[in-house]
Structure 1
Amino acid sequence: MIKYLSRRIVTLFLTLFLVSILTFTAFNLIPGDPVILILGTETTPQRADMLRSQLGLDRPMPVRYVEWLMGLVQGNFGNSIKYSLPVKSLIEGRLPTTISLALLAIFLIVIIAIPVGIYCARKRNMAIDKVLNSVSMLNLAVPNFFLGVLFIWVFGLQLKFFTPGNYVDYNENFVGFIGYLLFPALVIALPNIAILVKFLRTAVINQLTADYVRTAYSKGVSDNKVISHHVLKNALPPVITLLGMIIAEIFSGSIIIEQVFSLPGIGRLLISSISFRDFPLIQTLVVYIAFIVVFVNFLVDVLLQAIDPRIRVR
């Protein structure tokens, strides 16, 4: 197990290293000059060269990459070209909103999808199962940006449950902060709930037809005990894998939803930095997203090894 964990940790850091190279190269080769965006197209070549030198953009790309990577390792992400502030402080200011939104969405997914998926499996082919399946398909079919607009219109403008665009900072009013995040979290959660419900329903149904379940029933074991002690234990590993993918996607930044609900999170920061060619900020945010995805997958692999001894450690 220790050997397996060591290999996985090495793979994690190697992946991040490759992502950093690809990100730095890609954003430094795409068209667009941040100096021109700052000074405007009417600026003189002398002023442009002076600012380019101040920003360090006149040095060779490999040199700039090594300096940026060394700073990244030491926790110094450089200064934002657009905001003229340290990248670290910009991210730290936006991170609580994105993390809170992600945690709330994940909480809603888990507490809704797991019981509903099990319930649908137990009531398979009955009317309630067909209704819940139809609702799940509807959630999957509706784009999340449209669902976000619909939530703003219904719950914000019509029912007045929250004021669209009037974001409440967690330092000012934590209850109001959670209340505002609840609706974008629901928008993020609903399609993922639909996916997880269908996946869990199928996994539980497959286990319910297994021989060991019939044996348990023949011994007089109650239905609830069969589900909780036997079926779920065997149905959860693939579900955990899917849930890990969902968590990684949510944590990496729900960019569209943050934009729709005017949330000052990582997603909106990434969009503004891309449009302004803010290389230090873009590169750091992409590496952050890559780290979240790789780290969550690493945790899922470790968790699967722990809960399912049938998975062979290599």
Structure 2
Amino acid sequence: MGRYVLQRLLGMLAVMFVVVTIVFVIVRIAPGDPAAVMLGPDATPQDVAALRGRLGLDRPLLVQYAFFLAQLVRGDLGESIFLNQPVLSAIADRAEPTFFLTLFSILIAAVIAIPIGVLSAYKRGSLFDQSATTLAMLAASVPSFWLGLLLIQFFAVRFGLFPVSGYGGPGASFMTRLSHLVLPAFALGIVSSALILRFTRASMLDVLNDDYVRTARSKGMSEFRVVMKHAFKNALIPVLTVIGLTAALLVSGAVVTETVFGLPGVGSLVVSAVLRRDYPIIQGALLVIAALYVLINFLIDMLYLAVDPRVRY
């Protein structure tokens, strides 16, 4: 097990090193002078030169890269040009809505998809199976922002059950802020449930006809125990994989949904940074999102150990 964990940790470090290098290169090879773009057309050459010196863009490329790596080792992602605060602090201030939105979306998707996927595989070829598969394909093709607008129209505007947008005031309670996340979480969760449902169904179909399942039935076990204890547990690894990938995609893909619902999350921060050409924010957000991708994949790998002891070998 120790060797397994060590291999995954070394893999994480290698991936992050590649991501850091790519992010560094992309920002430096982008067309135009980043300092001139950030300051706008009215900036004087002296202002551009001063900003280039502040950002270290006047140094040789290898020196910039070494300085960039040294900053990352210290946990320093730079300072936002327009917010006048450290990038890590700016991202941390916006992390709460994005974190809870992603968490609730995944929970909603899993609660919807896993039971339906298991039952659909168990009733393969039935009307329920065909209906579930059709609805999953339909949900996968629906844009989350369009579904979000529909939810706003019906549950916020027409019935007044939930807030239209925002995240509550500075002193809002957790329950108040939670009420602002219900609609966007359902918009993302319903769309994300389609992929999880299809993977759950396919994985269950692979194991339901295996010998150990027939043996469990021949011993007189109840169908519920056979399906959930023997079949589902052995079909869980692909399901965990797709849930992890979905969570990683939601972290970076909730930009449009956060914009539709006016949530002050990381997505809206990145959108405003792109519009204002705030390169330190864009660069820092890319690194943080990539780090979350890698971390989520690592946690999924660790869950494999709990689900299937054979992974240790």
TM-score (norm: length of structure 1)? 0.91
Q: Could you tell me how far apart the structure 1 residues matched to 2:97 and 2:170 are?
A: 8
Structure 2 length normalisation: TM-score? 0.92
Secondary structure of the 1:198 match is helix
Residue 310 (structure 2) pairs with residue 310 (structure 1): yes
User: Does residue 285 of structure 2 align to residue 285 of structure 1?
Assistant: yes
The answer on whether the counterparts of 1:34 and 1:276 sit within 8 Å (CA) in structure 2 is: no
Q: Which residue of 2 aligns with 1:88?
A: 88
Does structure 1 retain, via aligned residues, the 8 Å contact 2:80–2:278? yes
Shift of 1:22: 0.7
**2:155–2:162 Cα contact (<8 Å) kept:** yes
Query: Within 5 Å, which residues of 2 pair with 1:189-208?
Result: 189-208=189-208
Q: 1:251 to 1:214 in 2, by over 3 A?
A: same
CA distance in structure 2 between the partners assigned to 1:202 and 1:4 by the alignment: 28
**CA deviation after TM superposition for structure 1 residue 312, in Å:** 6.2
- After superposition, residues 130-145 of structure 1 pair within 5 angstroms as 130-145=130-145
What do residues 146-185 of structure 1 show as CA deviations (whole Å, max 9, x unaligned)?
2222222222222222332333157412112111111111
Report how far residue 59 of structure 1 moved. 2.6
Matched, 1:123 2:120: no
Structure 1 position 155 matched with structure 2 position 144: no
8 Å contact kept, 1:148–1:187 = yes
The amino acid that maps onto 1:309 is: P
Question: Are the counterparts in 1 of residues 78 and 86 from structure 2 also a CA contact under 8 Å?
Answer: yes
Contact kept in structure 1, 2:106 and 2:243, CA below 8 Å: no
Q: Secondary structure at the match of 1:59?
A: coil
2: CA distance between counterparts of 1:145 and 1:254? 9
* Alpha-carbon spacing, 1:14–1:206, altered in 2? closer, same or farther (3 Å): closer
Give yes or no for contact 1:121–1:201 (8 Å, CA) kept in 2.
Answer: yes
Does the CA-based 8 Å contact 2:144-2:188 persist in structure 1? yes
Q: For 1:251-271, what per-residue CA distance to the aligned partner results, in whole angstroms no more than 9, with x for missing partners?
A: 345112112212111112122
Write the distance in 2 (CA, Å) between the matches of 1:188 and 1:170: 25
- Aligned equivalent of 2:164: 164
Supply the AA of the counterpart residue of 2:205: I
Distance 1:137 1:35 in 2: 46
Note closer, same or farther for the CA distance 1:117–1:169 as it changes in structure 2 (3 Å cut): farther
Q: Which moved more, 1:190-199 or 1:39-48?
A: 39-48
CA distance in 1, matches of 2:213, 2:10: 41
Tell me the residue number matched to 2:223: 223
Residue 26 of structure 1 aligns with which residue? 26
Cα offset, 1:278, TM superposition = 2.0
Query: CA RMSD for the aligned pairs?
Result: 2.1
- For residues 58-100 of structure 1, the C-alpha deviation after alignment (integer angstroms, 9 at most, x for no partner) is 2333323322322222122221012121112201100111111
Asked if the contact 1:253/1:266 (under 8 Å) is kept, the reply is no
Is the aligned partner of 1:54 residue 2:54?
A: yes
Identity of aligned residues (%): 38
SS in 1 for 2:250: helix
- Hey, what does 1:70 align to over in structure 2? 70
Structure 1 counterpart of 2:235: 235
SS in 2 for 1:156: helix
Q: Is the 8 A contact 1:240 1:300 kept in 2?
A: yes
Flag structure 1 segments of 5+ consecutive residues without an equivalent: none
Q: In structure 1, what is the Cα distance between the partners aligned to 2:238 and 2:165?
A: 39
Q: Is the 1:255–1:268 contact (alpha carbons within 8 Å) kept by the matching residues of 2?
A: yes
Give the Å deviation of 1:144: 1.7
Contact 1:34 1:278 in 2 (8 A): no
The gaps in structure 2 that reach 5 residues or longer are none
**What letter matches 1:130 in structure 2?**
Q
Query: Which residue of the partner structure matches residue 182 of structure 1?
Result: 182
TM superposition shift of 1:101: 0.7
Cα distance 1:56–1:131, how it changes in 2: closer, same or farther (>3 A)?
A: same
* Length, aligned pairs only: 313
Separation in structure 1 between the aligned mates of residue 26 and residue 292 of structure 2, nearest angstrom: 20
